[in-house]
Amino acid sequence: MTGALKVIVVLLSARQFLASRSFPMSIQAEQVRRLITRSHAILFGSLKAELSRAIACCRVAKTTSDAAERFRYLLVAEATSAKFIKLLSQGKIGKSKTILRLMSLLEKELGGRLYIARVAKRLPFGAVIVAVTYAF
């Protein structure tokens, strides 16, 4: 056997070995689907917890008499609000009614309203007509 032939035989043997040891594609696909589902559930829970924390910070700030302490709590809430507004504008969380409800509650606690801007129509020269609605 020449050197090139040995390499081909070894590569074929390795592929056959890996193919015999790996799961069928349907089982692998199911495992990946479950992993993605669990990851989404963890992410969703984390986002809800972050919004709930910001809402709690607003409520604590309203009951705190120390101005510096109140300011720190409101900074946390404002930063969280800005983060979620950015995620919403990027279209990453627009489908979740729970997240939108919590965002609306956070904005209410901060003394504002949640505005959701949607592209209503794109014009040929690049301009956009935007429809602004209130959430909840």
Poorest-pLDDT segment among 29-33, 42-46, 55-59, 61-65: 29-33
Which residue, among 105, 112, 101, has the nearest Cα to 56 in the 3D structure? 105
CA 1/CA 41 separation, integer angstroms: 55
CA distances from 51 to 68, 73, 96, 99 (A): 22, 13, 13, 8
Q: Of 23-27, 28-32, 110-114, which has the strongest mean pLDDT?
A: 28-32
Q: 64-107 pLDDT, tens per residue? A: 899 899 999 999 999 999 898 888 888 788 678 888 889 889 98
Tell me the average pLDDT across 21-28: 69
CA distances from 115 to 22, 25, 123 (A): 50, 45, 23
pTM of the entire predicted model: 0.64
Phi/psi for 130 (5° steps) reads -110, 135
Q: What is the DSSP string of 5-47?
A: HHHHHHHHHHHHHHHHHSPPHHHHHHHHHHHHHHHHHHHHHHH
**Under DSSP, is residue 122 helix (H, G, I), strand (E, B) or coil?**
strand
With a cut of 50, say whether residue 7 has pLDDT above it.
no
Name residue, tokens 């709930």: 52
Going from N- to C-terminal start, the domains of the chain cover 3-134
